[in-house]
């Protein structure tokens, strides 16, 4: 089954964002990946509700919103209003993860949980059935264009096994450093969704790049 592809808006040209949104709309990509950073949970600040409003107005595909922020519970309803279809919070940022996940679902969004490179997969065992998406960070969160961490393959394999053992329907999303070389190994390890930013937006033929990432066989 082909991978789902979620181009990361963080790597788009913000001086001509509408053109990049249109490109994704007409591509074979499945979702828009939107990274929201607060400068506290990660050492960077990205964008917030004004950019989300623009995306909602023009995007014809689901908005996959990745919150790299502290206290995500405070903003769940606002991100729903801003157009999020998937809302992903970090395991490391949530004191009461079960409550946060179900609050996201209560507002009609798919619930995602992200884990940093150092966070072991087994910590999700008690909640894996409640999660729609697990986002495996394959770089340290905060900046685009980083080198892929090779240990990610092992984490995806372990996560896939955890999902199978619990008869869960959770999808595995990989975020950071996805490219034309590791797309196929990630798919074979069990990944369902790839987030790709620099790989797509630096490509001379973005539509073909997305097409290859989606089906690298």
Nearest C-alpha neighbor of 180 from the set 217, 145, 149: 217
Element spanning 198, H or E? helix 198-201
Place of tokens 């053992």: 165
Please write down the HEC assignment for all residues of 74-101. HHHHHHHHCCEEEEEEEHHHCCCHHHHH
> Exactly one of 30, 35, 64, 132 is catalytic; which is it?
35
> Exactly one of 38, 64, 132, 175 is catalytic; which is it?
175
**Dihedral pair phi/psi, residue 138, rounded to 5°:** -100, 10
Known catalytic residue: 175? yes
State both tokens at 217: 């066989």
Known catalytic residue: 13? no
Rg (CA), the chain: 16
Question: Which residues does the annotation mark as catalytic?
Answer: 35, 175
């Amino acid at each position: 089954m082909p991978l789902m592809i979620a181009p990361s808006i963080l790597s788009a040209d913000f001086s001509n964002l509408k053109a990049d949104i249109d490109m994704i709309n007409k591509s074979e990509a499945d979702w828009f990946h939107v990274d929201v950073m607060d400068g506290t949970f990660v050492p960077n600040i990205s964008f917030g509700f004004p950019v989300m409003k623009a995306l909602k107005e023009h995007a014809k595909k689901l908005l996959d919103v990745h919150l790299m922020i502290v206290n995500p519970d405070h903003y769940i309803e606002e991100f729903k209003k801003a157009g999020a279809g998937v809302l992903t919070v970090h395991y490391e940022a949530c004191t009461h993860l079960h409550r946060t996940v179900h609050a996201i679902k209560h507002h009609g969004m798919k619930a995602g949980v992200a884990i940093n490179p150092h966070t072991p997969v087994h910590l999700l065992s008690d909640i894996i059935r409640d999660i729609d998406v697990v986002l495996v960070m394959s770089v340290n969160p905060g900046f685009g264009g980083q080198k892929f961490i090779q240990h990610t393959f092992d984490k995806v394999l372990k996560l896939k096994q955890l999902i199978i053992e619990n008869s869960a329907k959770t999808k595995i999303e990989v975020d950071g450093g996805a490219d034309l070389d590791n797309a196929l190994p990630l798919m074979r390890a069990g990944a369902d969704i790839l987030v790709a930013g620099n790989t797509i937006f630096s490509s001379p033929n973005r539509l073909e790049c997305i097409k290859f990432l989606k089906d690298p066989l």
